[in-house]
Amino acid sequence: MAELMNGIISFIGLGSNMDDPQARCLEAIGHLEKVKKSTLLRRSSFYRTEPVGLTNQDWFINAVVELRTALSARELLAELQAIENLMGRSRIVKWGPRVIDLDILLYGQEIIEEADLTVPHREMHKRRFVLEPLYELAPYAIHPAFGVSVAGLRKRLGDVSRVELLNKGQV
């Protein structure tokens, strides 16, 4: 338990637009609560969001969770990918429909740039569907690469896609 007290605060973005998306997000949160060496601290409200990139598809449900973890970023990524695989995620079309998508947005103040792992998430500062739920949980969290708070990123955001609050409620 002591290692969790000293764990890294991470923010995980989640989204779905297939097969009852809100239920899929709740299912993913249930799996995140069971990630080894980790404690789910809070979750944002759910947001109904307009698709970005590939726009000819159903709208998404998005949220962000705050996780304290003693896992490395690479181990955490493996856990997230295992949850996605368990839930039937397929990666056929970039930005296409998905049963679940789990992304490490922030991992403490670490900056990681590897072939298959980039933290902070490389697109988070451009995406309203990420910044709205992240702002709800952590408006003063600092983007380690830019030195700007989530509130500052949100204020400067150029993304005009629609993001609608569905319900208030944190873990």
Looking up tokens 């949980």, which residue turns up?
137
Q: Which of 43, 89, 127, 154 is catalytic?
A: 89
Q: Which of 43, 48, 74, 103 is catalytic?
A: 103
Q: Which of 24, 43, 101, 154 is catalytic?
A: 101
- Residue 98 among the catalytic residues: yes
Q: Which of 98, 127, 128, 154 is catalytic?
A: 98
3-state secondary structure the chain: CHHHHCCEEEEEEEEECCCCHHHHHHHHHHHHCCCCCEEEEEECCEEEECCCCCCCCCCEEEEEEEEEECCCHHHHHHHHHHHHHHCCCCCCCCCCCCCCEEEEEEECCCCEEECCEEECCCCHHHCHHHHHHHHHHCCCCEECCCCEEHHHHHHCCCCCCCEEEEECCCC
- Residue 101 among the catalytic residues: yes
Q: Active-site residues: which are they?
A: 89, 98, 101, 103
